[in-house]
Amino acid sequence: MKVTRALFDDVMAPNYNPAAMIPVRGEGSRVWDQEGVEYVDFAGGIAVNSLGHCHPAMVTALKEQGEKLWHLSNVFTNEPALRLAKKLTDVTFAERVYFANSGAEANEAALKLARRWALEHHGEDKTQIIAFKQGFHGRTFFTVTVGGQPAYSDGFGPKPAAVDHATYNDLDSLKALMSDKTCAVMIEPLQGEGGIISPTPEFIQGVRELCNQHNALLIFDEVQSGVGRTGELYAYMGLGVTPDILTTAKALGGGFPIGAMLTTKDIAASLKVGTHGSTYGGNPLACAVAEAVLDIVNTPEVLDGVKRKEQLFRDGLNAINAKYDVFSEIRGKGLLLGAALNEKYQGRSRDFLVAAVAEHLMCLVAGANVVRFAPSLIIPDADIQEGLARFERAVAKVVQG
């Protein structure tokens, strides 16, 4: 069968609009399409491919586990899941882990746990969940409602109730919504889809203090910011604020689907037997791969490398901007960066993405006004320089019309 982009329109639901080229092979931070054309990957599968494509340690883990045990369900436990959970609790604030298959499922579990915890400890009136405008927490109906982008949640009927949205980096906005009926505040410690927005130290500390004041749980959605993306294993570690619940996915499996919710022993106690579950959660294949990823990422070499590579990106993007004057600022932390378009180029982030693909560079957008970069955490410096050269050619084409 000849597989073409046209086949997508014939057989797939129309909720995506993928590029014309079809990648067929990847190695490190390079990808090749059906025609053998090579691309530099600054997209990383939307902050997923933490070790690039086909990293030998991941391939080995998958092959070895694939010859032992694929699936059991949670009627039984398995060794890779327990090893991974132990490693996650050893290196974070958490004492208990729940495994899922995606960030949305991890967030769904976090929200359900918060509601159940509040019911058990404070009564049935404590149901309010507060999140932030322009936030993103997944595409299940609960998580997309908690996410602060109505365009993603409108049009599907009545939404889950008792969900409110404050303004990110505006503590007064949150304070006005909070009360003793608030059961949880869910926040990205670095907004991703909403434009790569970092929290101010005063804001994120104030969110923690308000949660303490109102006996509300603080949920950090680290689906995109976690597993080394910011140069810390998890972003909370660089903010001086510890959440009550943390969700992680994307980079955790380095490309193999897995998600996890991390929390304390006391809070996890509300997830009694039968209250929540997942057929595939804790799958041996996924956990074996994620263990290999975690072992590599959680090293000084990789985490310090992320911070150094961030500066290479910033220097390169600032040099491009000095020539073409298209960005108002470079946002983000580590290797989750956003080039925010200035007033002359508002609404045109996709134009830059399309031009980049034409120059054989894969990148992302974060809304209509931000070009996003989320490459492998171990992308070689030479690939950064080559990718930025291609991006500069793309910028020049957009500017020249």
Please tell me whether 139 is known to bind a ligand: yes
Active-site residue among 42, 99, 132, 136?
A: 136
Q: Is 266 annotated as contributing to ligand binding? A: no
279 is in an annotated binding site: yes
Catalytic residue among 126, 250, 309, 333: 250
Question: Catalytic residue among 126, 132, 221, 309, which?
Answer: 221
Q: Is position 166 annotated in a ligand binding site? A: no
Q: Residue 175 and residue 242: Cα distance in Å, rounded?
A: 19
Q: 302 φ, ψ to 5°?
A: -75, -50
- State yes or no: is 391 an active-site residue: no
Half-sphere exposure of 18 (CA within 13 A, CB side): 13
Does 36 show up as a binding residue in the annotation? no
Residue 278 assigned to a binding site: yes
| Beta-bridge partner residues of 32 | 25, 38
Question: Do the beta carbons of residue 100 and residue 259 sit within 8 Å?
Answer: yes
Consult the annotation and say whether 311 binds a ligand: no
The b/e string for 279-297 (b: 16+ C-beta within 10 A; e otherwise) is ebbbbbbbbbbbbbbbebb
- Helix, strand, coil percentages (3-state) for the chain, rounded to 5, are 40, 20, 40
Is 159 tagged catalytic?
no
250 is catalytic: yes
Give the whole-angstrom CA distance, residue 82 versus residue 206: 35
First-last CA distance in the chain = 39
Which phi and psi angles does 336 have, rounded to 5°? -125, 90
Residues whose CB falls within 8 Å of the CB of residue 302, separated by 6 or more in sequence, listed in order: 228, 296, 377, 378
**133: CB partners within 8 A, 6+ apart:** 148, 149, 165, 166, 167, 168, 194
Binding residues are 103-104, 136, 139, 221-224, 278-279
Binding residues for N(2)-acetyl-L-ornithine are 139, 278
Binding residues for pyridoxal 5'-phosphate are 103-104, 136, 221-224, 279
Q: Would you name the residues annotated as active-site residues?
A: 136, 221, 250
